[in-house]
């Protein structure tokens, strides 16, 4: 019975974790330095067609290119709402 209780607790915790980790939707694109390289955020600012939302992927600071090597710009694309 104890193993079953632990198993049930783990399964219920995982099921409840899904909604808790839902991605936040911003009304404006975060300012420079607010999202880290590779981090994806959703922005609903009206730039994308109906039924889609802007996905912004953080880049590295182009000003540090000489000191830290390769830099990448932020990437923006419209994706379907989930």
pTM over 0.85: no
Assess if residue 48 is contained within a domain: yes
Instruction: Judge whether 67 lies within some domain.
Output: yes
What is the domain range of residue 35?
Answer: 23-80
Length of the chain (residues): 82
Domain count, the chain: 1
Question: In which residue are the tokens 């000003």 written?
Answer: 63
18: pLDDT strictly greater than 60: no
In a domain, 56, yes or no: yes
Establish if 12 belongs to a structural domain: no
pLDDT band of 23, cuts 50, 70, 90? confident
Whether residue 16 is contained in a domain is answered as no
Work out whether strand 75-80 and strand 52-57 pair parallel, antiparallel, or are unpaired: antiparallel
Tokens in use for 65? Answer: 């290119």
- pLDDT bracket for residue 9 (50, 70, 90): low
Average pLDDT over residues 35-45: 94
Q: Is residue 6 part of a domain?
A: no
Any domain includes 14: no
Radius of gyration from C-alpha coordinates of the chain: 19
């Amino acid at each position: 019975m104890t193993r079953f209780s632990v198993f049930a607790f783990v399964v219920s915790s995982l099921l409840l974790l899904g909604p808790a980790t839902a991605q936040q939707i911003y009304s404006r694109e975060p300012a420079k330095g607010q999202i880290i390289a590779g981090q994806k955020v959703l922005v609903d600012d009206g730039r994308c067609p109906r039924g889609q939302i802007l996905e912004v992927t953080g880049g590295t600071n182009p000003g540090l290119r000489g000191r830290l090597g390769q830099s990448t710009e932020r990437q923006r694309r419209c994706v379907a709402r989930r």
